[in-house]
A and B are shown apart, each in its own frame.
Chain A
Amino acid sequence: MERLECQWCHAQNPPETRSCEHCGAPLDRANLVSDSGWREAPRLRDMAKFQFSNSTCQVEGELVPVAEINLSPGDGVIFEHHTMLWKDESVPVGVYPLGGGLKRSLGGMPYVVTQAGGPGRIAFSRDAAGEIVTLVLHPSMELDAREHAFLAASHSVRYSFERIKGLTNILHGGSGMYLDRFVTAGEPGIVLLHGYGNVFERALGPGEKILVEPGGYLYKDSSVNMQAVQLNVRTGLFSRGMYMAEMTGPGRVGIQSMYHHHASE
């Protein structure tokens, strides 16, 4: 039987499907890839719906899209509590067990991460125009995301955080003190990120490097090494260095086109 492969998450879909059933990416639109190799993340069609476990996610709106999740009994999502837009009164919420509360607090991250369980509906959105990126994690995958960029993740994804190593990286890296880390074990899962502006992705080969504005970094495979490097930019008599995030492959790197630092960060 003929199947349609999603060019974003590579899942197989039945013919005549307009949006991928696993990530919501439109299946009837060509990939947009720049000459330099950046691929634009698929703009999810308004009201597109996709499935994870026995639950569904519907993406609503286009300027500041909302991820509305209809949780089945036994399913759940984890999220930072301030991204909740609305919920059914009956949906239970609880604290996601997580170590390192003091470190997180010092790093300006939420003290705890929250989880909600089915059955019922809960919806999430962020504080600036942008787009939702659905990252499907196959079993045994690791993904790092910019702190506060994560909108929600399915309950099968293990969430933790990694301290960014090196004083230079912390002081000049522009990505905060921590990275959110999402890991899958035996089950697949999804991570929903909100990127400000448009989101672009590039796959780096082993040893391949790219310099990224630190505020533009959104996510990366954990196999990608991120290091703050100083560029010597001379302006007349004064010399002042500027810092960029040097990404070294192998792996995917995702960036957002609107990268000023918002009040929420």
Chain B
Amino acid sequence: MTTTPAPGAAQATTYVCRYCRLPSDASGTSCPSCGAPVDVRAAVSDSGWVEQPAVRDMAKIQFGQSYCQVEGTLVPTADFGLAPGDGVIYSHHTLLWAGTGTHLEAWSQGSFFTRTYAGMPLVLMRASGPGHVALSEDRPGEVIVLPIPPGRGFLVREHAFLAASDGVDYTWQNAPVWLQTRSGDDTEYEYPIGPYIDLFVARSGRPGLLLLHSPGNLFVRDLTPGQAILVQPGAWVYADTSVSFGLHAEYPASGGFLWGSYEYRTVWLRLQGPGRVAVRSIFEKPERYSGLVASSGMTSHRW
């Protein structure tokens, strides 16, 4: 195990939070920008993955004149205390409770058809202050708080989104990786990370706050330019916009038996730096993708 002390937690009053990369005040117990505890040692695996620490129960994160308090540890709730004029957008199915004075309204963006086709929320909701609104997901996991500097953004797996502040533009783009399979006369497109990925960008001149829910534990690492890592497509959660995506098929050595190499081909998501990538420890059982005829560009290796 490699442990490194919390950066300057005891000695200095300011430091750069290792998780949100923003200057922060070390006099408290949590980073005010992302809620990460400042007084614990970083958990870093020997291979270089940094475990995202759970936001401490009842930790508060400030954004604008408003704040978010994270409550609970198994399935944490994000409880927003919204100042007048401030607001957050969210998907209606994550709404846990709202104050009677909080203004809730539909917030629509983008193409009706593509969102429906992608299985994404047709209409998002916006809650505006003054008042409280609380959001949570339906599986044990962690709330990931990502402050976004002005003009910067994150690519995020679809359905991982919990909430975003008013300063964040939420759009989506076609998934950079896909496969085409054929069975008889039927041709289908398969999307290992979903047909779309969400793109959250803070408007220039204004920082934003993005909250994700990640089932299981979350691990983050910084890839250097050209450095690549193979991960299960279902485990990818978010990445800097500078990270490139690809597919890599791996065929286990099977002693010449076709069934061994074909059925048990592993289709990996190949993430290549530079940039930050995050994966979760829980993922859906991978597809087999039989009858592959085309792809977005896939490298392969036979052992």
Contacts and interface: CB of A to CB of B under 8 A. Distances in A.
A236 interface: no
Interface residues of B, number: 46
B232 A60 contact: no
Nearest to B255: A95
Contacts of A123: 47
A66 interface: yes
A32 to B, nearest CB: 19
Nearest to B259: A111
B269 to A, nearest CB: 9
B84 interface: no
Interface in A113-145: 114, 121, 123, 125-129
Contacts of B254: 94-95, 112
Contacts of B44: 47
A87 B45 contact: no
Contact of B257 (A88, A95, A125): A95
Contacts of A263: 285
B141 interface: yes
Interface string A196-213: 000000000000000000
A63 interface: yes
Contact of B281 (A65, A84, A95, A110): A65
B216 interface: yes
Contact of B303 (A61, A63, A92, A264): A92
A65 B51 CA distance: 11
Contacts of B216: 61, 63-64, 125, 129
Interface string A86-110: 1111001111010001000000001
A152 B155 CA distance: 32
Contact of A60 (B217, B230, B286): B217
Contacts of A66: 217, 219, 281
A82 B266 CA distance: 8
Contact of B266 (A56, A81, A92): A81
Interface string B221-234: 00000001111100
A63 B140 CA distance: 7
A63 B142 contact: yes
B192 to A, nearest CB: 14
B229 A93 contact: no
A171 B207 CA distance: 59
Interface of A: 46-49, 56, 58, 60-66, 68, 70, 81-82, 84-89, 92-95, 97, 101, 110-112, 114, 121, 123, 125-129, 263-264
Given A47-B51, A56-B46, A129-B140, 15 more contacts: A47-B1, A58-B1, A58-B45, A58-B46, A60-B43, A60-B49, A61-B51, A64-B282, A68-B49, A70-B46, A95-B252, A95-B257, A95-B264, A112-B263, A127-B284
